[in-house]
Structure 1
Amino acid sequence: MTPTFTRRVPDGDTLARDICDQCGFIAYDNPKIVAGAVVRYGSRILLCKRNIEPGRGRWTLPAGYLENGEAPPEGAMREAFEEASASIVIDSLLAVYTIRRLSQVQLIYRAHLEAPVFAPGPESLAVALFEPHEIPYQDLAFTTVRWALAHADTPGGPFANPDIVDPKGPE
């Protein structure tokens, strides 16, 4: 028998959820987590030209969805390897961005290349190191890439969207 679900507010909750009519299982639909990094080699920043939609042909940071059971820093390292054939070292958490329309949370790290070895992976058309003044801002794939690059040289963090109140409160 194929389960059927009804959307209703479960006991003890405040939001409507899909609940199995047969067994009462609650099918939570929660945000997706993305992990990525602003990867440096010296003063230069590693960017990947996307070979997939959305944003095919535009530049981005190495980043992508976490896999089940994966810690965010591991996901950022995996994505750098998959997209840029790059081995990176995570230095610190740079930012936590919330993309409400996509129900997405992005954890962006500061990182550096272990060695200046990189090449396009299957999801990238090209991979390159850019001095900050050389970054093709007009060809960036996502707003969060622009935010992360703007935050990359700012001491402190983690940072958040410009429209999100600083969780640490006033200094």
Structure 2
Amino acid sequence: MKFCSNCGSGQITLQIPPGDNRERFVCPACQTIHYQNPNIVAGCLPVWEDKVLLCRRAIEPAHGLWNVPSGYLENGESVADGARREVWEEAAARVKIDYLISLYNLPKINQIYLQFVGELVDGAFGVGEESLETALFTEADIPWKEMAFTSSVFTLKRYFEDRRTGVKRLHRADYPAV
């Protein structure tokens, strides 16, 4: 950080503010502490009958690979609303959120994934501007070697395990495992 977004000063310093225990960017001119916190990624695994909807990415990172529709949560948006929006943006589909299936931490890149399972409304979907294509897959047909992110693989595996046992539960993990 080079400039204070509060007063415009160009003398930002990295220091531990009084009463804190971590280094923060602090503006010596106006004393504003600029906190940098993890990004929340919201997503939803759309389900239709015995299949799940995946999207082939049209954007980086991982252009051309498959993923569970997910993206950064926007300010003023609930996690469920963000998940629904991402499904719309990536797959031109509406979902009825069922339950939260995964909380997936990526501390090395400051991201936290929260992914839901949701029913694809009327089985309708298309291709959003962030996707090259979308498709419904049975468990046997998932393109595992072409998956973009470990978070998508984690969510898919937990979903199919839970479906076999008839249990809907929240799964938590860190990547890499700690």
TM surpasses 0.5:
yes
What amino acid does structure 2 have at the position aligned with 1:39? P
AA of the residue aligned to 1:31: P
- The TM-score, its normalising length taken from structure 2, stands at 0.89
Alignment map for 1:55-66 (pairs within 5 Å) = 55-66=62-73
Structure-2 residue corresponding to 1:2 = 8
C-alpha displacement of 1:157: 2.6
TM-score relative to the length of structure 1 = 0.92
The count of corresponding residues between Structure 1 and Structure 2 is 164
Q: Is the contact made by 2:99 and 2:168 (CA closer than 8 Å) also made in structure 1?
A: no
Is 1:40 aligned to residue 52 of structure 2?
no
Structure 1 residues 31-72: Cα deviation after superposition (integer angstroms, max 9, x where no partner): 000000111001100000000011100000110000001000
2:24 equivalent to 1:12:
no
Which of 85, 92, 96 is equivalent to 2:99?
Answer: 92
Cα drift, residue 156 of structure 1: 4.2
Counterpart of 1:159? Answer: 171
Offset, 1:22:
0.7
The one of 110, 115, 118 aligned to 1:111: 118
Aligned-pair Cα RMSD in Å: 1.2
Structure 1 runs not aligned, ≥5 long: 165-171
Q: Which residue of 2 aligns with 1:135?
A: 142
Structure 2 stretches lacking a partner, 5+ long = 1-6
SS at match of 2:171: coil
Which has the larger helix fraction?
A: 2
* Poorly superposed stretches of 4+, deviation over 4 Å: none
- Distance across 1 between alignment mates of 2:103 and 2:76: 20
For 2:68 and 2:155, the matched residues in 1 are separated by 9
